[in-house]
Amino acid sequence: MTKIYIDAGHGGSDPGAVGNGLREKDLTLMIAKHTQDYLKGYNCSVKMSRTNDKTLSLAQRTNDANKWGADFFLSVHINAGGGTGYEDFIYNGVSNTSKSAKLRNTIHSEISKVLTKYSITNRGKKKANFHVLRETKMPAVLTENLFIDRREDANLLKDDKFLKDIGQAHAKGIVKAFKLKGGSGSTSTSKPSKPKQSKTSKSNNKQTSNYTGDSIVDYLKSIGQPSSFAHRKKLAQQHGIKNYTGTASQNTKLLNALRGNKTTATSVKNYIPRTFKVGQRVRIKSSAKTYSRSNVPIPSKYKNKSLTIQQVGKDDVLIKELYSWVRKSDTY
């Protein structure tokens, strides 16, 4: 049976690219799960690098796929850097007639149909020396699905229908490339049963969960509730979080509210500064884990201590005393 390994980029302490209230690690997991769900209707075995908000090194991902003996490695990512549209990559050490190239061509063709449907720029088929493409022992493709820091792209990335379409397009390309047998993945896969308490009442919003991470998407799934943007917006309205657009700070407020913490919309509003300026004094939260631009842990001795902002970034600030960048959401 054909073995398909799906790698949802980033995760855990590594959020990936951040912009317009979105985190790459959340989006890659949602797209990857749509790909996985579609493939359940076909005669293949699928393994995910992660199914929740988990930290994994690049080596852990490729080693896992190699050890499993995967026939194909797919790595899903979201782009950043001011551009727009979709592009995909294969290792720059393989030829245009390699199996990786042939598989990529088929997958790219299926994804192109979605790009046309949503009027998305097709940035083409490219090559790169990425770890997951270089260190895998099987054909591998890495996809970059729109730009998180471009508003028009981000609006699509907030659309659950688009995420499903792009995720399924990845799967359709795999089905076609490997000539997999079976029915339509979307119809032959049994639909998940609805949670007993499907109404978004405040009572079921406070269900207990063993999940301890900081992803609102994974938390909602852990208590049996939908994780779609539309559902989160309804919950935000119920908890007094106005004009919900899915920003990192809004998701933190909502997560705290659903967990029953005292950091409700009103208190959090006072807890996180609305604006950040050079020279402003802030403190790093006790819950902060790593610096925003590296995976280095923040020492406890610097937390809850008055510190000075030296520079202001889009989603983080440079702390003068540490000369390190800290996420805005990790300060108060």
Q: List the one residue out of 210, 219, 77 whose CA is nearest residue 148.
A: 77
Give the residue-averaged pLDDT of 129-153.
Answer: 96
Helix (H, G, I), strand (E, B) or coil at 146: strand
In a domain, 252, yes or no: yes
Q: Are residues 178 and 297 in the same domain?
A: no
User: What's the number of domains the chain is made of?
Assistant: 3
Inter-residue contact 69 to 217 (CB < 8 Å): no
Q: What percent of the chain has pLDDT over 70?
A: 86
Q: What is the pLDDT of residue 201?
A: 39
Residue 274 confidence class, pLDDT cut points 50, 70, 90: low
Mean pLDDT of 21-31: 95
Write the pLDDT tens digit of every residue in 311-323.
Answer: 788 888 888 777 6
* Position 175 pLDDT exceeds 90: yes
Q: Count CB neighbours of 95 within 10 A.
A: 10
Q: Which tens digit of pLDDT belongs to each residue from 53-62?
A: 999 999 999 9
The region of weakest confidence among 66-75, 106-115, 160-169, 179-188 is 179-188
Whether the Cβ atoms of residue 247 and residue 253 lie closer than 8 Å to each other: no
What is the chain's mean pLDDT, rounded?
Answer: 84
pTM above 0.85, yes or no: no
Q: pLDDT for 115-130, tens place per residue?
A: 999 999 999 999 999 9
What amino acid positions are annotated as catalytic residues?
A: 144
CB 285 within 8 A of CB 272: no
161 lies in the same domain as 310: no
> What whole-number distance in Å separates Cα of residue 76 and Cα of residue 197?
33
Per-residue pLDDT band at 91 (split at 50, 70, 90): very high
**238 is in which domain, residue-wise?**
202-271
pLDDT-derived band at 199 (thresholds 50, 70, 90) equals very low
Domain of 29: which CATH number? 3.40.630.40
Q: Report which of residues 13 and 188 the model is more confident about.
A: 13
Q: Is the pLDDT of residue 202 over 50?
A: no
Q: Is residue 145 domain-shared with residue 170, that is, in the same domain?
A: yes
Are both 155 and 6 inside the same structural domain?
A: yes
Measured CA distances, 114 to 44, 76, 120, 185, 276 (Å): 24, 16, 8, 17, 39
